[in-house]
């Protein structure tokens, strides 16, 4: 499957979040061509500020794979990760991060900070950005537009 194929899976997760009234961010973890973790934002539902799509997907992948080190995995996420998630990506030792749209308010991979490439960390992450950027941006914009109109 291509990067776009996996990003479509992350967008399906984002849609699940939107249907629950959560910020529509979705993520999937892929290892050896298989999706081994899925997640979408559940902060409101779980009353948990750490229940971001990325963290939930990485937790599921680590549990399924029996190892917290995801150094052979790629994380696909619809929006550039925040500082918490970027730090978790480093801690989980994710090999590659692929994200859709930049995050102007809290992006911590390319936009505001660059946590995943810090030379003093013992792990750095390969990053590919802009995969299905328009679709990833649109689901967020639509969600917040509808929220403001309520």
Question: How are beta strands 34-40 and 26-31 bridged, if at all?
Answer: antiparallel
Distances (CA, A) of 93 to 62, 141, 143: 11, 31, 31
> Three-state SS for 121?
coil
Which residue among 22, 54, 60, 80 is the active-site one?
Answer: 54
How far apart, in whole angstroms, are the C-alpha atoms of residue 4 and residue 132?
7
CB-based contacts of 103: which residues, under 8 Å, 6+ apart? Answer: 79, 80, 81, 82, 111
Q: Active-site residue 19, yes or no?
A: no
What are the catalytic residues? Answer: 54
């Amino acid at each position: 499957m291509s990067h776009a194929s996996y990003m479509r899976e992350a967008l399906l997760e984002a849609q699940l979040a939107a249907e629950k009234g959560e910020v529509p961010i979705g993520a999937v973890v892929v290892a050896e061509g298989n999706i081994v973790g899925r997640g979408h934002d559940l902060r409101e539902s779980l009353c948990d500020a750490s229940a971001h799509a990325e963290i939930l997907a990485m937790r599921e992948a680590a549990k399924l794979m029996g190892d917290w080190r995801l150094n052979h995995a790629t994380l696909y996420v619809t929006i550039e990760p925040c500082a918490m998630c970027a730090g978790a990506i480093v801690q989980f030792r994710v090999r590659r991060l692929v994200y859709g749209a930049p995050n102007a308010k809290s992006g911590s991979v390319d936009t505001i900070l660059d946590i995943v490439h810090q030379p003093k960390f013992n792990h750095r992450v390969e990053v590919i950005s802009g995969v299905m950027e328009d679709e990833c941006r649109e689901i967020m914009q639509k969600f917040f537009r509808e929220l403001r109109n309520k």
